[in-house]
Each structure stands twice: as structure tokens, then as C-alpha cells.
């Protein structure tokens, strides 16, 4: 009988021995440009923590630190059937969530709808009419009814993942569009009545019980199934974090004379960190993206770490190298496809980083198919290294935000529930973020398990939104009305049987 030792699948070594010296020189320059060493991480975390605290103050700061009026964590005992609507950067998802008697369990039925590109730059009425029609079609299909007006009125948690000022759980004034949206007539307005008017036009019997940010939903959904969760994060098309803060630690809410011991979820909107450009190590490509964006000077942090921008940073760097007479890359080739703005997204970089072959032949095929560029092996090694540098920088910067919240709240051990396409699908993103946290907190090899771990979350924008609707109904019935729109309070709550 023979025993064979199990082996890991072969991995690419990434040798650079055949890369010409002049190309290696430019690879080293890129490494210098994109690498963030431990001292810089610590400097960023310190400034990040300072800005988080400032955002809770009366004067405020660049990070909004928006109170969401989600009061307290779920207990796992929530029950009932609720709708959730998730409006992300590219898709719309309608969900029906059943919370059974079993603690911490749920069932979900859902359908996805693509958000047409023309709607992203249209009008508010066009946007909300489209969403209302999707909800209507979902209800008709899911309940097999001829007339949805016959349905029992359902309560909905609306995941609206854009910066909003929330004076109530069912009220949200859009501060600004992010993720490439620029819809007129919505910024500066409460999105709830706009959406409710569209639902009424479509004859849909729904009450919007809670306006939810996807990050807050991620926090609540993760805490529902894992009570060690203290932070929720999104690393996807955009980036953000949410956590629970005691009301007594929020000076800008002091005038409301609320119970100082109540815990309220804070939607950080940390994509706006360092809009003043004090500490983040921006490259010329980051500056170009900012200056040519619809909102120059805003969302500085997001533009360096979010999936929407990673491919564009990569593209700009390659175009810059091509136009440099000292760099021999893509010689005598037509790079017109590469010159199209935002033609590459983070999935393109993910494919490059996933290429297992030493000669990077999958990357060769990718460039040929997508960009009509025939690459040499040394060029592909530069391409691979550039993708690694951009992806690693994004993960390390993301870890800075997590560390800043933990330091501010004196959290020594917890789970951070994370969701989003970059976190879930980008190769090595999770490992790179974990390594950065070890450097920031100085955990040595003697620490067997990292005390603070960023782990895959539950479905925040679906289950989380439904849970928040359930939590809102539950607390109002208990007489906790903080952050509930007074004009709508009575219409939200049916009589207690």
C-alpha cells in the first residue's frame, strides 16, 4: 500500500528573469508608485480615525457618518414576511424574505433586473417608474395573482446605496449620486415620496418602512447569523462601512435628547475620506480620474479602491506607458480599444490575476479578444504586475478603514461582514486585506487566529433590508419612535391583534 502526500495545485512562480532591463525599470517605478508600506498604512489609519470622529461632531467633516435610525442589533427572533428592494450600481433586485420561528433562519425568493444605462443619466421619474414596474412584475409572478391590488399590504426595506441624509428611518435626502449615476431632479430631495408616488402610479400596495444603505443591511444581516459581527463593509462597485455607535457618542444628535445608551447604526460613507488630499498616496492616474469625473474633488478614497475605478487606473497606466518614448510596449500596434475611457473594469484585472500559466497565455488571449493587442511575454509580466499592484493597494487601503473603526471603538476582536464583487471575486483581495490588518495591529506569528477578521457576509441588501423593516416595526410597537417620520408613523403600523 502506497501513501501519496496531498499537494496544492501548481501555482505560477512569476519569474521576471526574461524581462528586459528597460521594462524592469518601469515595473520598479510602478511598484514605487502603488506600494503602501506599513508606516504609511499607520499614518492613513490615524487620519481616518480622526475623520470618523469629526464626522460624528456637530461641525462634521468630509466623511458624513450618517445616522441610519436602525436601532440595535437583531435578536434572531424576528418573524414575518417582508419585501426588500436592492438598487445597486448595475442591477435591481426584488426579494421576498420570510423570517420563520427558528432563530436566525430565513427563506428568500428573488428576481434580478438590469438597470438600463440610459436611466443612469435620465430623470427621477424615469428611474422610479422603472423600479416600480419591476416590483409590480415580481409580485405578479411570485404571488400568481391577476390583480396585485388584492394582495395584503406588504412592508418593504428599500436598499438605496447612495449617500443620504436620514432624519428618519423612512426618509432620506439624497446628498449626491455615486457609482456613475447622474440623474437629474433627485439630489437634495427625499427619495421615499418619489418612489412611493411611482408605486402609486403603478398600483402597487407597498409601504416603504425603511430606507436602507446596503452597507447597513450587510451589518444587520451578518449580525443576525453571527453575533460577533461589529462592522459591515461593501467592497464592490463602490466602497463603504457601517457600525453601531452609542447615541451618547454622537454630538450632532445631542439636541434630540435621546437615550444616550441606545445603539444606532452609522452609515460612514467613507468613500469621501481624504477629499482634502492630506494623506492618501495618489498617483497621476488617480488625479486624472478625479479631475475628469462628474464630481471632481469628491469620493477620493472610493476612486482609489472601488471596483468602478480599478480597471480605469490600470488602463490609464498602460496608455501612459505606451505613450512614453522610453518604454517599448505594444510596438506597432493599434491601441485604440485601450484608449476608450472606462472600457476595462475590475473583472478584467481579476482575470489577469487568475491566469495560472507561467507564460500568461490566458492574459494573451484576453488582450487579443478584448483589445485586439498581441502581447509579448515580457509585456504580459508587466501587465500582471501592474494588476497585482492596483489590486493590492485597494485591499490595503480598504483595511485601513476597518482598522480605523476598530481603533475608534476600542474593538479588539470581531468579525467584519463584507460583501461586494471585489471582495468576493477579486483574487487574493481578502488575504491582502488580512495581511494589512496584521501589519497595522502588529499581530505577530504567535497569534494563531487574527482577532479581527473580514469574512463573507450574509445577504445585506436583501435579507438585511427585510430585517431592518422587521426591526423598525418591532421597535415602533414597543414605543421606540426615535427616527420615525411622524407624519407616516401611524400609517406604517397596523393595529396589534
C-alpha count within 13 angstroms, C-beta hemisphere, residue 228: 10
Distance CA 350, CA 391 (A): 8
Contact 366, 357 (CB under 8 A): no
Residue 211's nearest CA partner among 408, 69, 1, 370 is: 69
214 a catalytic residue: yes
161 a catalytic residue: yes
C-alpha count within 13 angstroms, C-beta hemisphere, residue 386: 29
Catalytic pick among 93, 170, 176, 459? 176
Alpha helices by DSSP H, 179-326:
191-202, 214-225, 284-291, 302-305, 307-323
Catalytic pick among 161, 346, 398, 457? 161
Distance CA 312, CA 320 (A): 12
Q: Three-class SS of residue 161?
A: coil
Catalytic pick among 86, 170, 190, 214? 214
Distance CA 117, CA 113 (A): 12
Distance CA 397, CA 43 (A): 11
Cell 497569534 -> residue:
447
Sheet with 206-212, side-by-side order of all strands: 107-114, 91-99, 80-87, 154-160, 206-212
Handedness of CA 325, 328, 329, 331 (dihedral sign): positive
β-strand 154-160 against 107-114: which pairing, if any?
Answer: unpaired
Residue 351's nearest CA partner among 320, 389, 388, 302 is: 388
Q: Which residues are catalytic?
A: 161, 176, 214
Amino acid at each position: 500500500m502506497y501513501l501519496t502526500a496531498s499537494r496544492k495545485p501548481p501555482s505560477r512562480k512569476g519569474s521576471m528573469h526574461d524581462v528586459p532591463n528597460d521594462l524592469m525599470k518601469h515595473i520598479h517605478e510602478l511598484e514605487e508608485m502603488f506600494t503602501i508600506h506599513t508606516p504609511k498604512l499607520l499614518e492613513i489609519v490615524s487620519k481616518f480615525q480622526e475623520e470618523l470622529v469629526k464626522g460624528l461632531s456637530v461641525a462634521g467633516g468630509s466623511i458624513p457618518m450618517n445616522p441610519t435610525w436602525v436601532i440595535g442589533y437583531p435578536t434572531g427572533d424576528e418573524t414575518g414576511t417582508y419585501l426588500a428592494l436592492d438598487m445597486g450600481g448595475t442591477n435591481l433586485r426584488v426579494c421576498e424574505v420570510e423570517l420563520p420561528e427558528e432563530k436566525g433562519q430565513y427563506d428568500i425568493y428573488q428576481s434580478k433586473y438590469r438597470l438600463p444605462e440610459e436611466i443612469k443619466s435620465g430623470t427621477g421619474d424615469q428611474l422610479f417608474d422603472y423600479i416600480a414596474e419591476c416590483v409590480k412584475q415580481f409580485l405578479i409572478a411570485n404571488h400568481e395573482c391577476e390583480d396585485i391590488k388584492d394582495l395584503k399590504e406588504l412592508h418593504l426595506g428599500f436598499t438605496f446605496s447612495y449617500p443620504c441624509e436620514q432624519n428618519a428611518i423612512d426618509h432620506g435626502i439624497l446628498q449626491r449620486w455615486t457609482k456613475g449615476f447622474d440623474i437629474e431632479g433627485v439630489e437634495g430631495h427625499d427619495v421615499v415620496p418619489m418612489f412611493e408616488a411611482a408605486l402609486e402610479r403603478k398600483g402597487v400596495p407597498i409601504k416603504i418602512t425603511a430606507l436602507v444603505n446596503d452597507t447597513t443591511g450587510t451589518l444587520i444581516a451578518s449580525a443576525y447569523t453571527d453575533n460577533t459581527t461589529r462592522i459591515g463593509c461593501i467592497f464592490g462597485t463602490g466602497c463603504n462601512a457601517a457600525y453601531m455607535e452609542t447615541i451618547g457618542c454622537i454630538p450632532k444628535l445631542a439636541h434630540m435628547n435621546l437615550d444616550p445608551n441606545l445603539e444606532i447604526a452609522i452609515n460612514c460613507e467613507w468613500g469621501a475620506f481624504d477629499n482634502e488630499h492630506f494623506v492618501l498616496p495618489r498617483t497621476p492616474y488617480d488625479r486624472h480620474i478625479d479631475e475628469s469625473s462628474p464630481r471632481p474633488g469628491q469620493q477620493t478614497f472610493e476612486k482609489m479602491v472601488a471596483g468602478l475605478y480599478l480597471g480605469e487606473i490600470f488602463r490609464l497606466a498602460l496608455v501612459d506607458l505606451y505613450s512614453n518614448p522610453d518604454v517599448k510596449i505594444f510596438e506597432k500596434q493599434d491601441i485604440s480599444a485601450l484608449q476608450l475611457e472606462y472600457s476595462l473594469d475590475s473583472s478584467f484585472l481579476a482575470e489577469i490575476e487568475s491566469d495560472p500559466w507561467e507564460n500568461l497565455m490566458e492574459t494573451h488571449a484576453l488582450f487579443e479578444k478584448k483589445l485586439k493587442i498581441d502581447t509579448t511575454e515580457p509585456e504580459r509580466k508587466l501587465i500582471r504586475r501592474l494588476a497585482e499592484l492596483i489590486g493590492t493597494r485597494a485591499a490595503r487601503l480598504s483595511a485601513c478603514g476597518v482598522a480605523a473603526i476598530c481603533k475608534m471603538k476600542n474593538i479588539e476582536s470581531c468579525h467584519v461582514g463584507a460583501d461586494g464583487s471585489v471582495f468576493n471575486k477579486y483574487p487574493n483581495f481578502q488575504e491582502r486585506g488580512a495581511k494589512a490588518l496584521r501589519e497595522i495591529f502588529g499581530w505577530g506569528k504567535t497569534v494563531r487566529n487574527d482577532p479581527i477578521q473580514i469574512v463573507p457576509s450574509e445577504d445585506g441588501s436583501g435579507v438585511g433590508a427585510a430585517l431592518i423593516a422587521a426591526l423598525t416595526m418591532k421597535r415602533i410597537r414597543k414605543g421606540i419612535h426615535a427616527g420615525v417620520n411622524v407624519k407616516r408613523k401611524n400609517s406604517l403600523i397596523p393595529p396589534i391583534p
